[in-house]
Amino acid sequence: MRAWLYCRVTNGWDADSRDHLALQKAELERFCAEQGLTVAGATMVTGSGKKELQELVRSGVDQDAYDVLVGVSATRFGGDILSLLQMGKALAEQGKGLCMVRENISTHPDIVLQSVSEPSESQEMRGLSL
């Protein structure tokens, strides 16, 4: 499965921003490696990123460039929850998904993330049965 990394910082294009973008990219690359995802590409954005994100969603679907769009956090995709939900829906309608690593959320049916709040099987076996 192919992943496209989306990294964004809100401030200008200075050395500090480049460092933060590089850290986001490294975190997403580690996540993809752990999930068995192939990194197909990455988009690095400063500022609101709204136009770049819309273009990435549109062109990624048109060109079949990725299966899942991966970001560090929902906040990197923008602050508007309605826009985020609409983007997730648009991707899902094309068989693509959206993944927000820190929130442990994936909308792609083939990417199942274990919630940090769910007990592992070994924890369940040691606990009380209800």
Dihedral sign (CA 46, 21, 80, 35): positive
Which domain, by its residues, includes 106?
A: 2-126
Which segment of 33-37, 46-50, 119-123 scores lowest on mean pLDDT?
119-123
The torsion region of residue 129 among left (phi > 0), alpha (psi -120 to 50) and beta comes to beta
Global pTM?
Answer: 0.80
Residue 65: pLDDT over 60: yes
Give the CATH number, domain containing residue 47.
Answer: 3.40.50.1390
Residue 28: pLDDT over 90: yes
Number of domains observed in the structure of the chain: 1
Rounded CA-CA distance 78/55 in Å is: 14
- For position 12, what pLDDT does the model report? 64
